[in-house]
Amino acid sequence: MPITRMDHFNIITDDLPATLAFYAEHLNLKPGARPPFNFPGAWLYADGGRGKDPILHVVAGKERKLLVKGVIDHMAFYGTGLGATVAKLKAKGIDYELRRLPEYGTWQLFFHDPNNAKVEIDFDAKEPEPA
């Protein structure tokens, strides 16, 4: 059975409203259709909720002590607007790390969500360095 693509990431949270607000503001991911599970959560879609498939599943109602890191280090997305994204993180006081891939030049921007999940957004090498 060959794998054909990555389907989605799943995170857990003790604060669903804060998590949804974070991903809407910083990645433009919005809730959309989700099966009627017997636990709270959301499925987030790209393109402001207009994307075809959910790319981030959020399971809510977990205790803070359960929000621990496992073997997966981070989730990565591809985006546009590096300067505006960095400016928004700075304005919100969110710590981040910005670096370029050697030889490729791709920008990699790393930061953490309210649940301490590490998020990476990759930007085209042609994007200008943020101020």
Q: Do domains 1-64 and 73-131 have the same CATH topology?
A: yes
Sheet holding 118-123, edge to edge: 75-78, 118-123, 107-112, 96-100
pLDDT of residue 91: 96
Mean pLDDT of the chain: 91
Residue 42: CB atoms within 10 A of its CB come to 21
Tell me the DSSP string of 46-105: TGGGT-SSEEEEEE----GGG----S---EEEE-S-HHHHHHHHHHTT--EEEEE-TTT-
CB atoms within 10 A of CB 10: 13
CATH number of 73-131: 3.10.180.10
Q: Exposed, middle or buried by CB within 10 Å (0-12, 13-18, 19+), for 58?
A: buried
Q: Where are the domains of the chain?
A: 1-64, 73-131
Both tokens assigned to 56: 């981030």
3-61 pLDDT, tens digit each: 677 889 999 999 999 999 999 999 999 999 999 999 999 999 998 778 788 999 999 98
CATH of 1-64, one of 3.40.50.1110, 3.10.180.10, 3.40.190.10, 3.40.50.2000: 3.10.180.10
- For the ranges 27-41, 66-80, 97-111, the lowest mean pLDDT is seen at 66-80
For the record, the structure tokens of 125 come out as: 């090498």
